[in-house]
């Protein structure tokens, strides 16, 4: 690979970010189930307990409401907690803390109480973990003012967004994907520096194109790029947008792309009703880019069912490359 560019897994990128921010600011600490002595359920916090000790990397009981509450209180008192949920499905145990305590306090206190906390962990479907571990919460948390919500795809996204989230004075929900943890991505020398952050609220164009805009976040961004590569051989050039942030949503980047391509397909792992794609479609409908659409926008989403356990059913519930190609051909009428 090119000079200064190396392959880094999403897991290592997140570990780097946590290590750098724990070192940079002594107010930062990590807490959650298995984060300390076991090195993290997914090994995201590998080596950090050994390096920083019990006060900075804290194993908690299996009580999300309890440790999320402790973390929110710590943030109100001036610390900068990173609260790991073993899966975001279990953040439901603590949703009162996340929404009623963390998200609403800055506004309700007229700005006098900041809550600089990051809630992070795997979100959406993994593999073979059934309905209670497979839900995507991008639409849930993206619905709530007072939160910032980020959803990384690549190692660069993961590192830069986690660092930006820890430094932000607002509560941030960071939705990772378990199936991406072991995936290596190219990272530039710049992205591996201690100063590197990805600004919250800015999408990234992963591939330029002229015929159709594909908008996605998290793991399906990779599926969009795969679909774009297949379609390119058939003479269809897709522009692929990686949202990176769910709230605040960078609709300007999407609008500019739609003005150029005149076609829009959204792709997400979550359910269709009131989803991220639904929001993008509504915003495009309400804005000036609507006049540039030559066909209705099309959503590619997870199936509208609780996730089945059986592998073949699970595959049929998650957007695949073929589904994206089908949607593109449908909107382009080819």
Using alpha carbons, select from 124, 141, 165 the residue that is nearest to residue 20. 165
Separation of alpha carbons 142 and 34, rounded Å:
27
Exactly one of 20, 33, 84, 133 is catalytic; name it: 133
Exactly one of 21, 33, 64, 206 is catalytic; name it: 64
DSSP string computed for 40-85: -TTSTTTTHHHHH-TTTEEE--S-HHHHHHHHHHHHHTT-EEEEE-
3 state SS of 148: strand
- The yes-or-no answer on residue 223 being catalytic is no
Structural contact between residues 265 and 300, judged by C-beta atoms closer than 8 angstroms: yes
Separation of alpha carbons 281 and 100, rounded Å:
29
- The yes-or-no answer on residue 133 being catalytic is yes
Using alpha carbons, select from 278, 243, 244 the residue that is nearest to residue 143. 278
Strand segments, DSSP code E, in the chain are 6-9, 28-32, 57-59, 80-84, 118-122, 148-150, 172-176, 184-187, 204-207, 212-216, 238-242, 245-247, 264-267, 298-300
- Kindly list the catalytic residues: 64, 133
């Amino acid at each position: 690979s090119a000079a200064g560019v190396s392959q880094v897994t999403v897991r290592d990128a997140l570990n780097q970010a946590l290590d750098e921010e724990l070192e940079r600011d002594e107010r930062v600490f990590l807490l959650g189930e298995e984060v300390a002595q076991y090195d993290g359920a997914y090994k995201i916090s590998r080596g950090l307990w050994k390096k920083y000790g019990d006060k900075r990397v804290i194993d908690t009981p299996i009580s999300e409401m309890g440790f999320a509450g402790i973390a929110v209180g710590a943030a109100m008192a001036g610390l900068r907690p990173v609260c790991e949920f073993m899966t975001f499905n279990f953040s439901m145990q603590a949703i009162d803390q996340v929404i009623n305590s963390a998200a609403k306090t800055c506004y309700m206190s007229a700005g006098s109480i900041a809550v600089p906390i990051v809630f992070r962990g795997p979100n959406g479907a993994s593999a073979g973990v059934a309905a209670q571990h497979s839900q995507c919460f991008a639409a849930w948390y993206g619905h709530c003012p007072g939160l910032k919500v980020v959803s990384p795809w690549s190692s660069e996204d993961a590192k830069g967004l986690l660092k930006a989230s820890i430094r932000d004075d607002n509560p941030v929900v960071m939705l990772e994907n378990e199936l991406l943890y072991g995936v290596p991505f190219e990272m530039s020398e710049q992205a591996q520096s201690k100063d590197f952050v990805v600004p919250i609220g800015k999408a990234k164009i992963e591939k330029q194109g002229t015929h159709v805009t594909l908008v996605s976040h998290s793991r399906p961004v990779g599926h969009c790029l795969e679909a774009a590569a297949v379609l390119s051989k058939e003479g269809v050039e897709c522009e692929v947008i990686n949202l990176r942030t769910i709230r605040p949503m960078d609709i300007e980047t999407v609008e500019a792309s739609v003005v150029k391509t005149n076609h829009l397909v959204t792709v997400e792992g979550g359910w269709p009703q009131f989803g991220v794609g639904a929001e993008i479609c509504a915003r495009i409908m309400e804005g000036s880019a609507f006049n540039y659409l030559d066909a209705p926008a099309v959503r590619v989403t997870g199936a509208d069912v609780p996730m089945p356990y059986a592998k073949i059913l699970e595959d049929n519930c998650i957007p695949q490359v073929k589904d994206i190609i089908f949607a593109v051909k449908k909107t382009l009428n080819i």
